[in-house]
Amino acid sequence: MEHTDFKTEELIQSRKARKFNLWLGMIGMFMMFAALSSGFIVYTASGVDKGIKTLLPDTFVYSTAVIVLSSLTLHLAYRAVKHESLDRQKLFLLLTLALGIVFFFLQVQAWSVLTGRGIYFINNNASQSFIYIFTGLHLAHILAGLIVLVRCLLGALKPIPYVDNQFRMNLATIFWHFLDLLWIYIYVFLLLNQ
């Protein structure tokens, strides 16, 4: 929420602080996935019958490509804001949103590939259940990210004042890149354990 009655200096300070909030929030989110990772390692080490015991679906390769691409388009959208080009910003934001949604569906698609192989969430080898937990919780964050992007798009359509638009886009970009990196971390972690 903006406090429009703050003076410039205090506004800058408060913006800086809120951007910092986002970084802290991302640390918190990362801790959650770190805990799951260590849980996975401890669980998987508990017996030879544990572990992923399958190759991760190729769909993950496509979804990784899609989310990396979406980071790129969002970067371009943010550059457009800096160059005060509202049309390009809208275009690239829409593209990012579309790619985000595609990513979402690809992840769900990967689940159906897994279930097709008989690897279900309800599983006596919980290492395999962990795949669903990792991807599912990440998707929950992607949903939040999509809401953030929609809010940016609404801001650009209205359009809100330039500095607000830029600040909003700045935060959204950081968050989306974080989600991108988080997925790459999860994917690499799972690949190393497959």
Amino acid letter at 80? A
Residue from 31, 29, 54, 48 nearest 129 by CA: 54
Q: Please identify, among the stretches 3-11, 62-70, 80-88, 164-172, the one whose residues bind another protein according to the rule CB under 8 A.
A: 3-11
3 touches another protein (CB under 8 A): yes
Q: What's the CA angle centered on 30, arms 104 and 179, to 5 degrees?
A: 30
- What are the helix (H) ranges across the chain? 8-44, 59-82, 86-116, 126-157, 162-193
Going by C-beta distance under 8 Å and a sequence separation of 6 or more, which residues neighbour residue 132? 111, 114, 121
Going by C-beta distance under 8 Å and a sequence separation of 6 or more, which residues neighbour residue 121? 129, 132
For another protein, the binding residues in 84-123 under the rule CB under 8 A are 121-123
Letters for 175-194 (x = contact with another protein by CB under 8 A, - = none) are: --------------------
State in angstroms the smallest separation of the CB of 116 from another protein: 19
174 touches another protein (CB under 8 A): no
Question: How many residues lie near another protein (CB under 8 A)?
Answer: 43
Exactly one of 48, 49, 83, 87 binds another protein (CB under 8 A); that residue is: 49
Q: Please identify, among the stretches 29-37, 93-101, 143-151, 153-161, the one whose residues bind another protein according to the rule CB under 8 A.
A: 29-37
Q: Please identify, among the stretches 35-43, 59-67, 74-82, 164-172, the one whose residues bind another protein according to the rule CB under 8 A.
A: 35-43
Going by C-beta distance under 8 Å and a sequence separation of 6 or more, which residues neighbour residue 74? 92, 93, 96, 149, 172, 173, 176, 177
The residues that touch another protein, with contacts defined as CB under 8 A, are 1, 3, 5-10, 13-14, 16-18, 20-21, 24-25, 27-29, 31-36, 38-39, 42-43, 46-47, 49-50, 121-126, 129, 133, 137
